[in-house]
Homo-oligomer: A and B are copies of this chain.
Amino acid sequence: MSQQSPLLFAIDRTSKTPIFEQICESIRRQAHSGRLKPGITVPATRTLAGELSVSRSTVVTAYEQLVAEGYLQGRRGAGYTLCAIGSVELPASKITAVPMESVPQLELKPLAPSEPDMRLFPYRQWAKAVARVCRTEPEAMLLCDETFGNLALRQAIAEHVREWRDIEASAEQIIVTAGASDALNICLRTLIATDQSVGIEDPGYQPITQLLKSQGIRPVWLDVDQDGARLPCSENQPTAVVITPSHQYPLGGVMSPQRRAAYINWANHQQGWIIEDDYDSEFRYGGRPIPALAGFDALHRTLYIGSFAKIFSNRLRLGYLIVPKSLIDPMRQTMDNFGLRAGLMPQQALAEFMRSGDFYRHLRRVRKRYNERRRFLVEQLKAGFSQFGTVQDYPAGMQLVFHLNNDLDDREVAQRAQQLGIGVETLSDSTARALHYNGLVLGFSGYSPEEMRESLSNLQQLLSR
């Protein structure tokens, strides 16, 4: 125990009371009994987590709960101290159940793009799905002889994309991957020889550029206009293209039907492959949902990449790849050669979670919330930032772009914002060829209006200087 706090904890792992609540209860009792004096510093979250051998998020949960209850003050990073409290006795066994939804987001960096708000996540329902697998099919967490991953999950994904993305695929065309980048890796390994090139969007998601370069694959840049990514120019034909037709990253537009048709023609003529990266398709807030290009093409020459990172956080490490029937055997070869990257443990539980409907209840709930947050951010930008630039608003996704006036430099702004703990990204950093783009990529999904308000106020001051 650290010197500042003679705290005593008796954690009972067999108890039905969650550990974070046991920590809360322990601190409450010692505060009330007078063992702990006001002003005392409680152990750092990392220290206490280490001493109790619990995860740090458990301690953060407990401390944040006690802040909410008025026992502690302070915040993560700065440390927590005990507040002065009256000498009221706590009722003997009144442990208030805290809804799991109040678990705080860790390392909150307001306005950072693409972050799901994990405080809204239904941990209890997810834990129920996992516990059901523990009870009924424990071996499914470790054994699977399907090269492409758990069959029940692949069936659930097939239903999901049929309903949500207009893609007709059977489970045998679906590969469970360790996230979207693993899916792209599998595509590259299967389709691209070392001397071939791949078309990618510029501006675009730069980790894709890095992935290509690290494998010695030459990128062919695809400009982006109002219709979406442009076709590769005629003298420079890549073997495949990686595009984001539903929601261009980072600019945010939707690829026009004409351009989609042109891509499908291109693929058929060139015998090329379209890799559709549908990174945040679940979040569309108005109008009719735009079907996936893969559905339009009937999975003829299109491969479709989906991810669960936008719903479960990146730490689940699960995504999926849907391939044309003609590619099932070559994909199996790749998976056999390079090995499976996707962990098996969450797969059956995720199938249960989707099947039970809890997945969709959560999705509907956060979509509504993210849309409110998007509207709030757009209003704030229109009201208070019009002298600095213009907001580009599309009713989709988890972030939007604010184009800066020419007298402001996006990288400089972002760097100074980072120092204030604001996680904005820039268009300049999204272009591989240093194209002239100058704007901020602002995430809204991960933060409450109040949290955004504070950051926006700081950002406004920063821009005014």
Contacts and interface: CB of A to CB of B under 8 A. Distances in A.
Given A341-B178, A351-B53, A138 B152 contact: no
B121 A127 contact: no
A181 interface: yes
Interface in A176-230: 178, 181, 207, 214-216
Contact of A317 (B60, B107, B137, B342): B342
Interface in A123-139: 123-124, 126-128, 130-132, 134-139
Interface residues of A, number: 73
Contacts of A150: 55
Please tell me how many copies of the chain the complex holds.
2
A100 B106 CA distance: 38
Interface stretch (A11-19, A285-293, A372-380): A11-19
Contact of A313 (B16, B143, B314, B342): B143
Nearest to A349: B345
A140 B57 contact: yes
Contacts of A215: 214-215
Nearest to A21: B136
Contacts of A181: 339
A126 B140 CA distance: 12
Interface of A: 13, 15-16, 18-20, 46, 49-50, 53-58, 60-61, 100, 103, 106-107, 118, 121, 123-124, 126-128, 130-132, 134-146, 150-152, 155, 171, 178, 181, 207, 214-216, 312-318, 339-346, 348, 351, 355
